[in-house]
Copies of this chain bind each other. A is one copy, B any other.
Amino acid sequence: MLELEMIKPDAGQSAREYAYQLLRDHIIRLKLKPGQPLSENELAAKLQISRTPVREALIRLSQEQLLEVLPQRGTYVSLIDLEQVEEARFVREQLEPAVVRLACGRFTADQRIQLESNLILFEKYVEEKDYSKLFDLDIRFHEILFTGSGKERTWAIVHSLNAHLSRIRMLSLASEYNWTTIIAQHREVVEAIKTKDADRGERVMREHVSLIVLDQEALIRAHPDYFKNSPQGGDT
């Protein structure tokens, strides 16, 4: 019943971390469906580790709102919560332009090169239509901006919030995504950083983040049982 794409744990990685990474990835990529029940015992058996590390991974995921743990009843993959999605967008809308502003002031040549090589890869995978890689590169672009500006912990927050956005993005057909617009905006951000034009960088990033939200109505219609508070998709 429960199907997991098994991946060998990295060497030196704890069982807890292994379970966490694997489950998070499955949830974000919708290999585990919103609302789907999970069992600590079943997971432990599938991953061939004991309940303890599985359980610790589940607790962490529930803190990140990717799971809902109901004591003595069960654990479920969280339904997609549009409130949560909106708040993630809101937070990014505030943080990302501010970070770009910082980056305009302090990015070194090395750091700019990191961004530019990201752009080059981006163009390559757009041609190859490798949407999975594009998702990763998109995330990586923003990560470079944060870490390069000395805001590693802030990035951790944004990264965690992204989990909820990711599921929506995953739902929409990847091809719907206007990668051309995204890459153009990324390029303009890099341009702004190069010329140390903080105002421009901030403005472009603000526009960029606003693109996160796509046609949610259509997605809900297509997958009503994946969403919280939607007519068909009960609260499980």
4 smallest CB-CB distances across A and B, nearest first, come from A94-B94, A87-B153, A94-B98, A87-B154
A91, B59: Cβ atoms closer than 8 Å = no
Residues of B within 8 A of A91 (CB): 95, 154, 157
Per-position contact with B for A100-131: 1 when CB-CB < 8 Å, else 0? Answer: 00000000000000000000000000000000
Distance of A58 Cα from B76 Cα, bound (Å): 24
Residues of B within 8 A of A93 (CB): 98
Please tell me the number of chain A residues within 8 Å of chain B, measured between CB atoms. Answer: 23
Does A181 lie at the interface of the complex (its beta carbon under 8 Å from any beta carbon of B)?
Answer: no
Which residues of A, 133-167, contact B by the 8 Å Cβ criterion?
Answer: 150-154, 157
Per-position contact with B for A73-111: 1 when CB-CB < 8 Å, else 0? Answer: 000000000011001001101110010000000000000
Distance of A59 Cα from B153 Cα, bound (Å): 17
Residues of B within 8 A of A65 (CB): 153
Per-position contact with B for A175-214: 1 when CB-CB < 8 Å, else 0? Answer: 0000000000000000000000000000000000000000
Which residues of A, 30-70, contact B by the 8 Å Cβ criterion?
Answer: 52, 56, 59-60, 63, 65
